[in-house]
Chains A and B, each alone.
Chain A
Amino acid sequence: MNLSELDKQIVVELQSGLPLVSRPFAVLAERLGISEEELISRVQAFQQAGIMRRIGAALRHRRVGYTANAMIVWQIPEEKINAVGEQFSQLPEVTHCYQRVSLPQWPYNFYTMVHGHSRDECQKIAEKLAQMAGCNNYRVLYSEAELKKSSMKYFMD
């Protein structure tokens, strides 16, 4: 899907937030100089094309009880990556799962993010994953502080 200038403006409006009024799309449409109907159909097209996953709320996880988060970094043999990736992705405790490049000074090639209500819970999840993958080359990096967490502002950089 190629984005027109209008589409980019729609992205900018939608990322800044959906107004808390009865007809939120009508408010945004007026700002954009188009009809409510046209805006809604463009937004639906974004979703169908997969460029927008949804309109939804991002929460402060710490405020709803998820106080611990751990990044677990793994050294998984290349030939096992597909199988391990598929396995880990099935688990609700694993929120993010990626294969990344490894470097001589940082030999880890696989990453999982785990959120829990305590460090103990994260530790238990790590042990469970290690057993599933048959891999003991891993490290659990807990976050000590959140220095920044914001949503991306597209087409504004």
Chain B
Amino acid sequence: MQLDQIDRRLLNLVQAEVPICPEPYKVLAEKLGITEQEVLDRLARLMQQDVIRRLGGVFDSRKLGYKGTLCAIKVPPERIEEVAEVINSYIGITHNYLREDDYNMWFTILARSPEKVQQILNEIKEKTGIEDIINLPAQRFFKVLVNFQVRDEE
């Protein structure tokens, strides 16, 4: 991925915060010493290149009344694709990773109630025929960070 110095500074700025005012991109442009149009063009390109996955509101799921949890399931290697398809089909399942362990597929669930979370888990068990799922709700949150400093090329 070719990112120039202005792209990197722009990415760090828009990750941190887009100002909530009538002309937010103009404010960003002034910080970077470029035109508003250039900010818009660069953002459009970075989205098109899939460097930026999304630019929008970042909400606190708990304050919106959603319950979240982390789950892991033991999937035989030959069934990974098929099981992932079942799991990924739910809107509330936002993250799903393969990891090196007997519990090899790790996914998060967000839903409006613990009952709804359980219902999704039951459906996954039913559709995949895999019973061995662990459900690990958080008891205490110490840190949740979503910003990543975009470093200079080394």
Residues of A that sit less than 8 Å from B by CB: 1, 3, 11, 14-18, 20-26, 36, 40, 43-44, 46-47, 49-61, 63-66, 69, 71, 81, 85-86, 88-89, 94-103, 105-106, 111, 115, 139, 141-157
Contacts and interface: CB of A to CB of B under 8 A. Distances in A.
Contacts of B63: 1, 49-51
Majority secondary structure, B binding face? mixed
A146 B97 contact: yes
A14 B103 CA distance: 35
B15 interface: yes
Contact of A51 (B11, B64, B141): B64
B138 A64 contact: no
Interface residues of B, number: 76
Contacts of B106: 71, 141
Nearest to B140: A99
A69 B105 CA distance: 15
Contacts of B147: 56
A3 to B, nearest CB: 7
B101 to A, nearest CB: 5
Contact of B57 (A11, A95, A111): A11
Majority secondary structure, A binding face? mixed
A154 B64 contact: yes
11 contacts: A18-B56, A51-B59, A55-B56, A56-B58, A57-B18, A71-B99, A95-B145, A98-B142, A152-B91, A152-B110, A154-B61
A106 B17 CA distance: 38
Contact of B145 (A49, A64, A96, A146): A96
B15 A24 contact: no
Interface in B132-148: 134, 136-148
A53 B60 contact: yes
Given A23-B23, A56-B17, A151-B54, A141 B61 contact: no
B19 to A, nearest CB: 8
A99 B143 contact: no
Interface string B111-147: 1100000000000000000000010111111111111
